[in-house]
Amino acid sequence: MLLVLGRRVSLSFVKRVSTCYPALLSKPVLLNLKTVKFKKRHTVFVSAASQNTNTMPERRPFVRLPTDVYPVNYGLCLKPDLIDFTFEGKLEAVVEVTQATNQIVMNCADIDIITASFAPEGGEGEEINATGFNYQNEDEKVTLSFPSALQKGSGTLKIDFVGELNDKMKGFYRSKYATLAGEIRYAAVTQFEATDARRAFPCWDEPAIKATFDITLIVPKDRVALSNMNVIDRKPYPDDDSLVEVKFATTPIMSTYLVAFVIGEYDFVESQSSDGVIVRVYTPIGKAEQGKFALEVATKTLPFYKDYFNVPYPLPKIDLIAIADFAAGAMENWGLVTYRETALLIDPKNSCSSSRQWVALVVGHELAHQWFGNLVTMEWWTHLWLNEGFASWIEYLCVDHCFPEYDIWTQFVSADYTRALDLDALDNSHPIEVNVGHPSEVDEIFDAISYSKGASVIRMLHNYIGDEDFRKGMNAYLLKFQHKNASTEDLWDCLEQASGKPIAAVMGSWTKQMGFPIIVVDQEQQGDDRVLKISQKKFCASGPHNGEDCPSWMVPVSICTSEDPSCTKLKVLLDRPETTITLSNISSEQWVKINPGTVGFYRIQYSSSMLESLLPGIRDLTLQPVDRLGLQNDLFSLSRAGMISTVEVLKLMEAFVNEPNYTVWSDLSCNLGVLSSLLSHTDFHEEIQEFIRDLFTPIGLKLGWDSKQGEGHLDALLRGLVLGKLGKAGHKPTLEEARRRFKDHVEGKQILSADLRSPVYLTVLKHGDSATLDTMLKLHKQADMQEEKNRIERVLGAISAPDLIQKVLNFALSEEVRPQDTVSVIGGVAGSSKQGRKAAWKFVKDNWEELHNRYQGGFLISRLIKLSVDGFAVDKMAAEVKSFFESHHAPAAERTVQQCCENILLNAAWLKRDADDIHQYLLQRKAPPV
């Protein structure tokens, strides 16, 4: 699954612990059998609501499903009602009873079972009707009781059931869309990862309990019906001539969380990959053209992965489909990959460069899962990171293959690597591998540690092993475990055999303990040799770890010199607290750099003489772009941790005045944004704006407003970044030009190019009034493309008048904004100003019940909390946030709340420590020389 995290949109989930109420149906349930009536049910209600006390609820010990009965094949027929938002289901599962039992325990949530029976194979006994259904709602399980024991052997479990097409973006749910004529309709779609297949049909909803699936959907005949496999039969439904019965081919053996079905109205574009797989991209009606870019990426990507893994794609087709209401970024259902519209659709005229890049990455991510996750699946959610970390790494390899001009690996460092370092430096981080039990705990680990740290340590591992042995090990792993389940250790074994290196020992230190080291380096020249003293200790966001029991890592350390900055001169494995390394034939004027390519997952603290010698490499660009970025990012995080003064970082930033690289500017811009947000709590916020204007003006003048011949993807991204930064910081010429171009755009005289829209919208809103906001809301209403709506939603928060801020917050919860996008509107308000931050937090508290009900745990609720409160910098706010969530439980966001409180305290300490020095520096850099 792809998340929508921080700087890029990142994905994860929405979960809840719920009570299961009987679906109230106004008419008898019509399946292709007989009319069924509700039986009296033996129900145990465990209501989540009844536990709303003021202490954290104790989690009951979690127990996985018993193994005495397991499924071999699910024969599943579903009949959704797109008007009443209910569905009827009929399950006929071939099961194996491994020891005699008079009950079957399955997962089941928000579903009502009407009848259940068990028929032994070959008619060797009577069909036995279940006499009781005991729902354990908190555990999302049901126990079917039988009057006599089911004997060892095969049999068929038959269950008739009904459920609700919910509006929670999980399980089998409804997704709202408008027809070309403007009529509101609903599609029925699915999102099962991690634990929501049980909301669509009773099942053994654990990744290791794999089976095959025969799926039939009974749907209106004018709707498209899709599932994991190709359609093998489509015929009129006997009881209602407005319906058809659509039957799909049998799936390979697979996990429940990868099952999918979609019923709705769609157009598609189709192609065939060079290895013969039929690829379709399904789009909203009338927008087939917008599927062509993703289709091109997908048809290039499938053969790339086939060659890379040396294993063919195992299904006859793959569909990629844009879903209107979708919580994550995308979901890798086998053969039917679902996406947010903005992660799949590209309009050649109205999509910006960053959207094209995002679509390429998300398609690369989800298609990688078809092998890594779907063909070989993690044994339990503890190993989720293997799925997500791996896909988050290889999506970049794939995009680099398809679009070398994106310089995507440099962007990886800014988008994933540094984000993971920031989160993992917190005391409230977690190891990559987390023991999880209850479904609400599973959702918590869909975060930047599983995805971005996972991807970063796999990148480090790939670099340590080398591509050839890495591919050899991957191929062995996929062949050994195809159609089965595997754990992290299984992958290490295969890579160890392929490479002959101690993979398990090295990687265990990165996946089983949280955090990472800071590598402290000093040097001494001895004749023609350079002697380096290198040591490691745990890096913490609050400063270096000085405790007794300091953890240590097995750290692959690479070293380069100014002789050839892009070539590693020496590699060592630092497997102890400190060591000494001698580099021969290095003259005293040459510099030495640790971690070329910024591949190793650690921060570096150089001695002052080593740092001094590296700084000219920033001004004269002799250091690689990724290393210029890494150096700046390391120093910035050391300043936040109180290990150096922030003034030192500001001085370093001024050395980037000749910087040409987009990603380096992007990371600088991000860190200046953090600093600007921090200093909004002081009375010299304007001085940091002036610093930003001075730093970005030269590159802004050089780029200008209009693209020049011969420019490419990265120039477009850089222009948007720089103009947005200057406009937001109040650079007068930029503001005037943005206003002029905005007026022409609104009047239809000269439409803004897609790449200029975000910076222009942001600039005019930041310095705008109620008329500007009204114009922007009108543009939002008129926008036909979700990308344009999202673009506007993300910048609305820049408005500065208190009454208009409130208007934007109210708009966030209106019908105009799709439920998954409300979070980015509120986040935009919180991130734009001190007033916005206060107003957004108050709004979240005032509307908590509605927001929590809407996202019910999971990824979006965590993201909402983080965006709303992370920017505070006063100790008492940490106490207020903690206290609020003690009385308003959000189980899936517990760790996020702890991380936010920690960040607030870190911000407060940073401000106390450095504010005066920063102020003095900003004043004296403007003072005329005496």
* Residue 442 main-chain phi, psi, to 5 deg: -60, -45
> Rounded distance, CA 610 to CA 605, Å?
10
User: Does residue 488 have a pLDDT over 80?
Assistant: yes
For helices 894-924 and 875-887, angle between their N-to-C axes, nearest 10 degrees: 160
Judge contact between 202 and 71, C-beta under 8 A.
no
| 440 vs 510, residue with greater confidence | 510
Judging by beta carbons within 10 Å of its beta carbon (0-12, 13-18, 19+), is residue 790 exposed, middle or buried? buried
Q: 560: which 2 tokens?
A: 């380069």
Q: 171: which 2 tokens?
A: 């399980």
* pLDDT given at position 927: 73
Rg of the chain over Cα atoms, rounded to whole angstroms, equals 28
For residue 367, the surrounding DSSP H or E stretch is: helix 353-369
pLDDT bracket for residue 24 (50, 70, 90): very low
User: Does residue 28 have a pLDDT over 50?
Assistant: no
> Rounded distance, CA 716 to CA 781, Å?
27
Judge contact between 107 and 208, C-beta under 8 A.
no
CB contact set of 157 (below 8 Å; sequence gap of 6+):
69, 91, 92, 93, 95, 104, 116, 117, 118
The residues annotated with a catalytic role in the active site are 366
Judge contact between 797 and 836, C-beta under 8 A.
yes
Residue 678 in 3-state DSSP? helix
pLDDT bracket for residue 442 (50, 70, 90): confident
Mean pLDDT, rounded, of the chain: 91
Helices and strands counted in the chain (H then E): 29, 30
pLDDT bracket for residue 4 (50, 70, 90): low
Nearest residue to 166 (alpha-carbon basis) of 156, 158, 152, 176: 176
Q: 834: which 2 tokens?
A: 């001190």
User: Would you put residue 85 in left (φ > 0), alpha (ψ -120 to 50) or beta?
Assistant: left
> Rounded distance, CA 674 to CA 666, Å?
13
> Rounded distance, CA 667 to CA 624, Å?
15
pLDDT bracket for residue 321 (50, 70, 90): very high
Cα-based distances in Å from 316 to 74, 212, 276, 277: 20, 16, 8, 6
At CA 538, angle to CA 535 and CA 543, rounded to 5?
Answer: 105
> Rounded distance, CA 697 to CA 851, Å?
41
User: Does residue 52 have a pLDDT over 60?
Assistant: no
CB contact set of 380 (below 8 Å; sequence gap of 6+):
206, 207, 208, 436, 487
Judge contact between 200 and 163, C-beta under 8 A.
yes
* pLDDT given at position 38: 31
> Rounded distance, CA 303 to CA 300, Å?
6
Q: What is the mean pLDDT of residues 473-499?
A: 96
CA 816 and chain centroid, separation: 24
Q: What is the mean pLDDT of residues 312-318?
A: 95
Beta bridge partners of 217: 78, 246
* pLDDT given at position 483: 96
Nearest residue to 483 (alpha-carbon basis) of 254, 316, 209, 193: 254
Question: What's at 182, amino acid-wise?
Answer: G
User: Does residue 111 have a pLDDT over 70?
Assistant: yes
Side-chain-side CA neighbours of 35 within 13 Å: the count stands at 4
CB contact set of 753 (below 8 Å; sequence gap of 6+):
707
Nearest residue to 494 (alpha-carbon basis) of 417, 386, 369: 386
Question: What's at 521, amino acid-wise?
Answer: V
Q: What is the mean pLDDT of residues 723-731?
A: 97
Nearest residue to 767 (alpha-carbon basis) of 806, 813, 734, 807: 734
> Rounded distance, CA 331 to CA 322, Å?
11
Judge contact between 161 and 112, C-beta under 8 A.
yes
User: Does residue 215 have a pLDDT over 50?
Assistant: yes
Q: Say which residue the tokens 């086998």 belong to.
A: 334
CB contact set of 556 (below 8 Å; sequence gap of 6+):
460, 463, 464, 506, 571, 572, 573, 574, 600
> Rounded distance, CA 106 to CA 100, Å?
16
pLDDT bracket for residue 56 (50, 70, 90): very low
> Rounded distance, CA 170 to CA 1, Å?
13
Q: Say which residue the tokens 């908190």 belong to.
A: 138
* pLDDT given at position 125: 74
* pLDDT given at position 632: 96
**Percentage of the chain with pLDDT > 70?**
93
Nearest residue to 809 (alpha-carbon basis) of 771, 768, 841: 841
Q: 634: which 2 tokens?
A: 């390391």
CA 413 and chain centroid, separation: 16
> Rounded distance, CA 642 to CA 644, Å?
6
Question: Any idea what DSSP says for residue 139?
Answer: G
CA 113 and chain centroid, separation: 34
Q: 316: which 2 tokens?
A: 């006859």
Beta bridge partners of 557: 572
pLDDT bracket for residue 22 (50, 70, 90): very low
Nearest residue to 841 (alpha-carbon basis) of 874, 814, 816: 874
User: Does residue 60 have a pLDDT over 70?
Assistant: no
User: Does residue 5 have a pLDDT over 80?
Assistant: no
Q: What is the mean pLDDT of residues 363-380?
A: 95
The segment with the largest mean pLDDT, out of 60-64, 169-173, 247-251, is: 247-251
For residue 675, the surrounding DSSP H or E stretch is: helix 662-679
Q: Say which residue the tokens 């009873």 belong to.
A: 97
* Residue 194 main-chain phi, psi, to 5 deg: -95, -40
Judging by beta carbons within 10 Å of its beta carbon (0-12, 13-18, 19+), is residue 183 exposed, middle or buried? exposed
Residue 676 in 3-state DSSP? helix
Residue 402 in 3-state DSSP? helix
- How many CB atoms are located within 10 Å of the residue 640 CB? 27
At CA 141, angle to CA 140 and CA 144, rounded to 5?
Answer: 155
| 109 vs 544, residue with greater confidence | 109
* pLDDT given at position 929: 65
**Percentage of the chain with pLDDT > 90?**
84
Question: Pseudo-torsion of CA 449, 453, 454, 455, nearest 10°?
Answer: 130
pLDDT bracket for residue 106 (50, 70, 90): very high
> Rounded distance, CA 338 to CA 738, Å?
37
For residue 246, the surrounding DSSP H or E stretch is: strand 243-248
Nearest residue to 601 (alpha-carbon basis) of 555, 536, 535, 643: 555
* pLDDT given at position 18: 28
Question: What's at 420, amino acid-wise?
Answer: A
Range with the lowest mean pLDDT among 271-275, 542-546, 579-583, 665-669? Answer: 542-546
- How many CB atoms are located within 10 Å of the residue 59 CB? 12
Q: 468: which 2 tokens?
A: 């050839």
What is the per-residue pLDDT across 876-887, written as a single tens digit (0 to 9) for each?
A: 999 999 999 999
User: Does residue 461 have a pLDDT over 80?
Assistant: yes
Question: Pseudo-torsion of CA 286, 291, 292, 294, nearest 10°?
Answer: 180
